[in-house]
Amino acid sequence: MTWRATVLTLFPGMFPGPLGTALAGRGMERGLWSLEARDIRDASTDRNRRVDDTPFGGGAGMVLRADVVEAACAAAMPEGDPRPLVFLTPRGAPLRQSLVRSLATGPGAVLLCGRYEGVDQRVVEARGMVEVSIGDYVLSGGELAAMVLLDACVRLLPGVMGAAESAEEESFSPSEAGALLEYPHYTRPAEWRGLRVPEVLLSGHHAEVARWRRAQSEAVTRERRPDLLQTEQRRDSAARMPMD
């Protein structure tokens, strides 16, 4: 079944953009996923197709109106549409591979891209939107964030990745020790500018290679992203809590 993505945006011309090329583009051509970009402005009933207004409480910038965004959602999602509605916003929960995996195993997603100051919070809550941030920085709009989320999901869809790519062993794959970063990679030549590839990788000894890679993963995660490590304490509390 085709994984369906719908993007609600003021700039539908930005899509598919980079998602129309390479892995994602080939997946789309092969019908493994589909992308529809809908103009939020089409939901405006205003003579001048206005979609925004000034913020209550004052301050700079404009806010996308709740009634317009609601009408855009209703037009994009018929009653009973099972897809989650995701609002890309710096206020959201940080995007993690666990959310990507769970979206990729569902029927698809509807993504709302904000602009200006953002979106009237009442429609975000009334629609039960999942608020997601792609990082601790502010973009000018949600479109690039939506592309990041879609790219991450689409590559996990069955059949999108070929033998040359694999999601089985990569950064953030769940393991006993937590969501580890990946080990380093090397290819030919075995010596470059006097730098030798680690000998173990040339040994042909699969168990030792696996052990070395595992140790490298743990070391780099400890050094760069200790927050990802599953400590004894966290393992205990995870055992007591339902999985998200």
What's the closest the beta carbon of residue 69 comes to ligand SAM, in angstroms? 11
Three-class secondary structure assignment of the chain: CCEEEEEEECCHHHCCHHHHCHHHHHHHHCCCEEEEEEEHHHHCCCCCCCCEECCCCCCCCCEECHHHHHHHHHHHCCCCCCCCEEEEEEEEEECCHHHHHHHHCCCEEEEEECECCEECHHHHHHCCCEEEECCCCCCCECHHHHHHHHHHHHCCCCCCCCCCCCCCCCCCEEECCEEECCCCCCCCCCEECCEECCHHHHCCCHHHHHHHHHHHHHHHHHHHCHHHECCHHHHHHHHHCCCC
What's the closest the beta carbon of residue 217 comes to ligand SAM, in angstroms? 27
Applying the rule CB under 6 A, the residues between 92 and 151 that interact with ligand SAM are 113-115, 117-118, 133-135, 137-142, 145
Residue 140 vs 187, nearer CB to ligand SAM: 140
What's the closest the beta carbon of residue 4 comes to ligand SAM, in angstroms? 21
What's the closest the beta carbon of residue 192 comes to ligand SAM, in angstroms? 37
Residue 5 vs 134, nearer CB to ligand SAM: 134
Residue nearest to ligand SAM (CB): 114
Q: Is residue 104 packed enough to be buried (19+ CB in 10 Å), middle (13-18) or exposed (0-12)? A: buried
What's the closest the beta carbon of residue 90 comes to ligand SAM, in angstroms? 4
State the angle between helix axes of 22-29 and 143-154 in degrees (0 to 180), rounded to the nearest 10. 70
58 a known binding residue? no
Residue 103 vs 160, nearer CB to ligand SAM: 103
* Residue choice 30, 50, 91, 224 for contact with ligand SAM (CB under 6 A): 91
Distance CA 63, CA 114 (A): 9
138 a known binding residue? yes
Residue 24 vs 119, nearer CB to ligand SAM: 119
134 a known binding residue? yes
17 a known binding residue? no
Residue 112 vs 201, nearer CB to ligand SAM: 112
42 a known binding residue? no
135 a known binding residue? yes
186 a known binding residue? no
**Residues in contact with ligand SAM, total (CB under 6 A)?**
19
Residues contacting residue 165 through CB under 8 Å, at least 6 positions apart: 23, 155
Residues of each annotated binding site: 114, 134-139
Binding residues for S-adenosyl-L-methionine are: 114, 134-139
Interface with ligand SAM (CB under 6 A): 88-91, 113-115, 117-118, 133-135, 137-142, 145
